[in-house]
Amino acid sequence: MLTVVVPVYNEETALRQFHRTMTGVMDASGIAYELLYVNDGSTDASGALLDELGAPAVHLERNRGYGAAIKVGIARSYGEHIAIIDCDGTYDPRDIPVLFGFMDKNDMVVGRRPVSSGIRTVPKWILKAIASYAVSYAIPDLNSGIRIFKRALVMSVMKLLPNGFSFTSTITMAALYHCFLVRFVPVGYARRVGSSKIRPVKAVLGFAMLIARTMILFEPLKFFLPPSVLFGGVGLLFLVRDIIAHNLAQASILMITNGFILLAIGLLAEAIRCKD
């Protein structure tokens, strides 16, 4: 059975149409499924609307975060396969059966959105490049909000998954790092109904910290080696300059020392990771 988990936070303007489309698509697909909404402490009429629609829902008393809502939905569901999709109109429910068609040979199928443009493209590209470097895989779409994964996959990496918007990014990196079979399938992406809950600056900073934490956890040497080489290389250049000028400065020795310290930390972390 396929469980479709839908996190909801103040989505009263889009919820009725989404539910109508979602149930119509899944009923017509022939897939055995259950649909579960998780009302993440909405302060608008989302909770009342879910009850009015007769939609199966879990109501949280306070807002706990996007990732936390998905975790609650997974814990309360029964399907061997879990689908997640936002209900704000950005994703088309008709893509769920399409993605599910690829699950027979994969552990997770991710909806790959069209390449976006705008002011947020550059930081998104940088973060995606760093994430790809961390897991040694060119990730086409790091944090797509429509995907299907096996319950066994998500349970094996559950302790790594955060409660915020970085849930999708983390499960992508974790699945690729642990060599699960992941496939990216093109899907449509529309302008959302209502206002976004994401604060760009906070989200980018939080996600940068997430990638750093994930790299230290998965590939610590990849995290510490670049700054080690940078400090050591610059320190050696300064040292050569100082030797030529017959004026040995503390800065060159300090930078070389810092390079060795960072390398030592990376090697120690790598040894601990391999031992675990």
209-224 in b/e form (b: 16+ CB < 10 A) is ebbeebbbbbbbbbbb
Closest residue by Cα to residue 219 from 154, 260, 180, 174: 174
Specify the long-range contacts of residues 59-64, CB closer than 8 Å, at least 24 apart: 63/9, 64/40, 64/163
- Region 179-184 average pLDDT: 97
Same-domain pairing of 105 and 142: yes
The residue from 218, 242, 258 where one domain ends is 218
**Arithmetic mean of pLDDT, 51-55:** 95
User: In the listed set 218, 237, 256, which residue is the last one of a domain according to the structure?
Assistant: 218
The arithmetic mean of pLDDT across residues 114-136, rounded, is: 78
- 111 and 123 belong to one structural domain: yes
Whether residues 173 and 186 fall in one domain: yes
Q: What is residue 276's predicted lDDT score, i.e. its pLDDT?
A: 58
How many other C-beta atoms can be found within 10 angstroms of the C-beta atom of residue 274? 7
Q: Are residues 224 and 213 in the same domain?
A: no
Considering the domain architecture, whether residues 179 and 211 belong to the same structural domain is answered as: yes
Q: Please give the Cα distance from 265 to 267 (Å, whole number).
A: 6
Tell me how many domains the chain contains: 2
Place of tokens 């998905």: 70
The residues with which 149 forms a beta bridge, in sequence order, are 82, 108
Give me the half-sphere count of Cα atoms (radius 13 Å) on the Cβ side of residue 85. 29
193 and 234 housed in the same domain: no
Residues 85 and 155 in one domain: yes
| Most confidently predicted of 123-132, 147-156, 191-200 | 147-156
Q: Are residues 186 and 88 in the same domain?
A: yes
Between 269 and 23, the higher pLDDT residue: 23
- pLDDT tens per residue, range 17-34: 999 999 999 999 999 999
Q: Give me the pLDDT at residue 193, please.
A: 75
The answer to whether residue 10 scores a pLDDT higher than 80 is yes
Tell me which of 3-7, 151-155, 179-183, 245-249 is least confident: 245-249
- Sign for the CA dihedral angle at 142, 144, 148, 149 comes to positive
Across the chain, mean pLDDT equals 89
What is the length of the chain?
Answer: 276
Report percent pLDDT > 90 for the chain. 63
Judge if 188 and 66 occupy the same domain: yes
pLDDT above 70 covers a percentage of the chain that reads: 92
Q: 248 and 150 in one domain?
A: no
**φ, ψ (nearest 5 deg) of residue 94:** -65, -15
Measure Cα distances from 5 to 83, 161, 175, 181 in Å: 6, 16, 19, 21
Amino acid identity at 260: F
Q: Are residues 180 and 225 in the same domain?
A: no
Q: Which domain holds residue 264?
A: 220-275
Q: What share of the chain is helix, strand, coil (3-state, %, to 5)?
A: 55, 15, 35
- What amino acid is encoded at 210 in this protein? L
Say whether both 105 and 242 belong to one domain.
no
DSSP category for residue 113: P
For residues 34 and 250, what is the distance between their CA atoms, to the nearest angstrom?
A: 66
Please, what sign has the CA dihedral across residues 115, 121, 127, 132?
positive
Of 218, 233, 267, the last residue of a domain is 218
CATH code where residue 71 lies = 3.90.550.10
Q: Show the tokens assigned to 219.
A: 């590939």
Q: Per-residue pLDDT tens for 245-266?
A: 888 888 888 999 999 999 999 8
Burial per residue of 16-53, b for 16 or more beta-carbon CB atoms within 10 angstroms, e otherwise: bebbeebbebbeebebebebbbbbbbbeeebbebbeee
